[in-house]
Structure 1
């Protein structure tokens, strides 16, 4: 395992801050009985704290493995941390005011705060795109680890970009805007108003589509795919087939393709105003095709004869070990 000391420190600091805000939000859930748009008022900062904490830790570790443009990578990670911090300050500040943070144009002040959030989200996304590009250019010894990080970062960027669908006005909001300014522009839900019946823990709509679902699933590919690779490495001593790097690489491609297909499917489902747990025949048919494709891809990956590279060993390398082309962290950060 790579030492946490080589991880991106501003992102580690931001992750620690998110732990603090998560604990504070949990306390708020216990002692503050106010509700907003149908859910406890501290629920949003609690969810955002957990999600951003996981995202920041993943990026902090990922940047320790990048081998190109270290100074640019440091600045990109720092920009992500700063933008996320600004967004959380506004979200929590609006909770104290008893106001919604997203889509709020009730007053000039609320609109200004939301506009600032919009800018921070674009800045955060730009930083994430920069990191993804650097990972595609980095030379990481283990190919399975390299492509896991690349696909994970790419899917995370796509998932974050899906959040840009939410600020678009709904048909009802467009109609209301013809008669004057409206207080709310944008929504999480599709086909139903925000604040209706929702799933426990996630708060996702159970009566209509919810754009937060593909947004969440896409962003957290940066955790899911590396965890899958770690599972393959852990199983390698017990399953000889997984000791071959080529097999692990094929399985990473299969998993990444399946993850991308699922992301497309749930985005399509949400845009049609369909609840996640109430798929129609078309959704079920596409879902079955995705499962079948995943099974075939795994079968081919495990069944094909591996082509071991010269010098490869039966012991899989640690995919979390930093790859700096022989340079220390202190040398690369200088």
Structure 2
């Protein structure tokens, strides 16, 4: 990485001291929890719903850790509602901590953490998790609203953050569809990840996504991680602008991020639609393949259109407008 790229990224990222501390602490805790889960996978041969019992804590440690790091970066970017944003970030950190305590605690008990109402204690743990997720979602929405009124300085990065937050909120909301799945034929079960079959059937390694039916966790996963993918795309394009004259055009980068965001939103909706039809991700039917082909072609055409025009030359390496993070 040359000095121009370093300058851009330094201007785009808050200094370590400005990241939201409670969310950073949660991210650090997730690293420890993830390490514990890896040890558990090696040393503990118990299974739950046809998966190694420590697979869920490992998955959630990684996902929550990435989410907490992302929010720790985004909250300090706020200009309007900065104090309220800090408190919303703190609420998110606390709710994430509660969720992980329930997941790990239930693993130690050898009990499912999600949808489990087998005993009053299990039901209380599931209700606690559901409440924490709802509060976290509302706090996330609050941060997203404040970010919608915040200009980061670079239009492409601003657009990537806004779209990433919007799609991420939709991805989080897919969890509510899981809680509404009809499991009346099962005793003491209030929801499911799968569509068209019960949880615990044949699945992909580690992630546990169904290989024989629909699985709502896929859209949940894809949607949430728009919060990382789209801002990172904007940052990458900005860092490349010091070497590629066409990317020095902020408008071009912004258009590319917009097309990528629309394509990503389309992908999230596609895998959600596929799951709701009870179709496995790895066994798509003709309808799904056709829709995927249309999405790829539309996104490709959009990128070609976005790349037309612009391309202002760079006067000198690193001369582009820095991203102001204040």
**Structure 2 residue 50 is matched with structure 1 residue 38:** yes
CA distance in 1, matches of 2:309, 2:174: 36
What does residue 330 of structure 1 align with? none
Q: 1:298 to 1:169 in 2, by over 3 A?
A: closer
Q: 1:158 to 1:307 in 2, by over 3 A?
A: farther
CA distance in 2, matches of 1:304, 1:49: 44
Whether contact under 8 Å (1:243, 1:314) holds in the other structure is no
Alpha-carbon offset, residue 234 of structure 1 = 2.7
What does residue 235 of structure 2 align with? 230
Alpha-carbon offset, residue 306 of structure 1 = 6.3
5+ residue gaps, structure 1, are 177-181, 325-334
**Deviations 1:115-158 (CA, angstroms, capped at 9, x unpaired):** 11110000010011011001001132211111111111111111
CA distance in 1, matches of 2:230, 2:117: 38
Whether contact under 8 Å (2:95, 2:133) holds in the other structure is yes
Secondary structure at the aligned position of 2:77 is classed as coil
Alpha-carbon offset, residue 317 of structure 1 = 4.2
What does residue 138 of structure 1 align with? 150
CA distance in 2, matches of 1:37, 1:18: 23
Whether contact under 8 Å (1:4, 1:61) holds in the other structure is no
Q: What is the CA RMSD across the aligned residues, in angstroms?
A: 1.6
Summarize the alignment of residues 14-93 of structure 1 with structure 2, pairs less than 5 Å apart: 14-93=26-105
5+ residue gaps, structure 2, are 1-9
Equivalent residue in structure 2 for 1:198, among 200, 203, 210: 203
CA distance in 2, matches of 1:210, 1:175: 19
**Structure 2 residue 125 is matched with structure 1 residue 120:** no
The TM-score with structure 2 as length reference comes to: 0.92
CA distance in 1, matches of 2:217, 2:322: 34
What does residue 283 of structure 2 align with? 278
Whether contact under 8 Å (2:246, 2:312) holds in the other structure is no
Equivalent residue in structure 2 for 1:149, among 147, 151, 161: 161
Q: 1:318 to 1:198 in 2, by over 3 A?
A: farther
Alpha-carbon offset, residue 272 of structure 1 = 0.5
CA distance in 2, matches of 1:36, 1:126: 31
What count of residue pairs does the alignment treat as equivalent? 311
CA distance in 1, matches of 2:223, 2:118: 31
What does residue 4 of structure 2 align with? none
